[in-house]
Structure 1
Amino acid sequence: MSYDKVSQAQSIIIGTKQTVKALKRDSVKEIVVAKDADPALTASVTKLAQEKGVDILVVDSMKKLGKACGIEVGAAAVAIML
């Protein structure tokens, strides 16, 4: 279901660094984080999302999340924009 949200979203940001930047700009509706991603990578994203009150969806696979974004590699975090 969350993969569908990502693939159907009008505007997304892919990657942890870009997601953090978007969160700081207060332009994120919700984030999607892959459960199999390195927690060291996703910790800053999830912490900031919690501080900002942004919903966090967790999916099983980085590879599937990347595919839902239309890229050939895995994605640890994706922001669905407002």
Structure 2
Amino acid sequence: MLSELSSAAKVVGVKQSKKVIRDGGAKQVFIAADAERRITDPIRALCEQHNVEVTGVSSMKQLGEAVGIAVGAAVVAVTE
């Protein structure tokens, strides 16, 4: 699934992901295992509240590369 992220409709980052999860537009959320828990725990809780599937990714670097950005990403939400 990670390889499909580059072509999927998505938002990258914590703030944008929170918004799309709250608005009901997130289909799946990817969270990097090496991101700070104080950042990712609220996202996990929000996903649980809104019944959004969460998939763990080993690193922020790997998640950033999967979405085609030059920096790491803690959270990516797929919207379609």
- Unpaired stretches in structure 2, ≥5 consecutive residues: none
1:6-28 CA-to-partner distances (Å, cap 9, x unmatched) read 2241x110001110000111001
User: 1:78 maps to what in 2?
Assistant: 76
1:4-53 CA-to-partner distances (Å, cap 9, x unmatched) read 132241x1100011100001110010000000000011111111001100
TM-score relative to the length of structure 1 = 0.91
Runs of 4+ in 1 over 2 A off after TM superposition: none
Letter paired with 1:40:
R
Number of matched residues?
80
8 A Cα contact 1:66 1:74, kept in partner: yes
User: 1:25 maps to what in 2?
Assistant: 23
TM-score relative to the length of structure 2 = 0.94
User: 1:7 maps to what in 2?
Assistant: 6
Output the aligned Cα RMSD. 1.0
- Unpaired stretches in structure 1, ≥5 consecutive residues: none
Letter paired with 2:4:
K
Aligned identity (percent) is 35
**Per-residue deviation at 1:3?**
1.9
